Amino acid sequence: MNDTRLADLPLREELRGQEPYGAPQLSVRSMLNVNETTYDVPADVVDAIAKEVRSVAETLNRYPDREFTALRQKLADYLSKESAAAITSEQIWAGNGSNEVMQHILQAFAGPGRSVMAFPPTYSMYPLYARGVYSHYIAGTRGPDFIQDPEDVAAQIREHRPHVVILCSPNNPTGTALTLDVVEAAYQAALESETMVIVDEAYGEFRQPGTASALTMLSGRPRLVVTRTMSKAFALAGGRLGYLAAAPAVTDALRLVRLPYHLSAVTQAAACAALDHAETLMANVEQIKAQRDRLVTELTDMGLSPYPSDANFVLFGGVDNAHEAWQHLLEDGILIREVAIAGHLRVTAGTEGETTDFLNSLRRYLNR
Query: Which secondary structure element, helix H or strand E, spans residue 213, and what is its range?
Result: none
In a domain, 321, yes or no: yes
- Shared domain for 12 and 157, answered yes or no, is no
Asked if 175 and 103 sit in the same domain, the reply is yes
- Is residue 27 in some structural domain? yes
Per-residue pLDDT of 233-271, as tens digits, reads 999 999 999 999 999 999 999 999 999 999 999 999 999
Tell me, yes or no, whether 50 and 182 share the same domain.
yes
Q: Of 163, 174, 50, nearest to 121 (Cα)? A: 174
Return the half-sphere exposure (C-beta side, CA atoms, 13 A cut-off) of residue 138.
20
Q: Are residues 302 and 233 part of one domain? A: no
346 strand-pairing partners: 315, 337
**For the domain that residue 193 is a member of, what is the CATH number?**
3.40.640.10
Question: Of the candidates 277, 295, 329, which is a domain's last residue?
Answer: 277
Q: What's the pLDDT score for residue 21?
A: 80
Same domain assignment for residues 29 and 48: no
Assign 226 to helix, strand or coil.
strand
Q: Are residues 133 and 271 in the same domain?
A: yes
Q: Which residues of 183-204 are buried (b: 16+ CB within 10 A; e: fewer)?
A: bbbbbebbeeeebbbbbbbbbb
pLDDT of residue 42: 95
- What does the pLDDT read at residue 181? 97
d(CA 274, CA 238): 13
Determine whether 336 is exposed, middle or buried from the number of CB atoms within 10 Å of its CB (0-12, 13-18, 19+). Answer: buried
**Would strands 242-245 and 92-95 be described as parallel, antiparallel, or unpaired?**
antiparallel
Strands 136-139 and 92-95: unpaired
Q: How many helices (H) and strands (E) does the chain have?
A: 11, 13
Q: Quick one: pLDDT at residue 113? A: 96
Question: Which of 219, 248, 277 marks a domain boundary?
Answer: 277
Q: Which residues of the chain have pLDDT under 50?
A: none
84 phi/psi in degrees, rounded to 5 = 60, 30
* Cβ proximity of 106 and 250 under 8 Å: no
**Angle between helix 322-331 and helix 352-367 axes, rounded to 10 deg:** 120
335 and 359 share one domain: yes
Q: Is 30 inside a domain boundary?
A: yes
Q: Residue 235: which of 266, 273, 264, 261 has the closest Cα? A: 273
Cα–Cα distance between 339 and 116 in angstroms, integer?
Answer: 22
pLDDT number for residue 8: 87
Co-location of 218 and 78 in the same domain = yes
**What is the pTM assigned to this prediction?**
0.95
* Residue at 1 is within a domain: no
Q: State the total domains in the chain.
A: 2
Specify the pLDDT at position 1: 55
Domain of residue 322 covers 6-41+280-367
By three-state DSSP, how is residue 308 classified?
Answer: coil
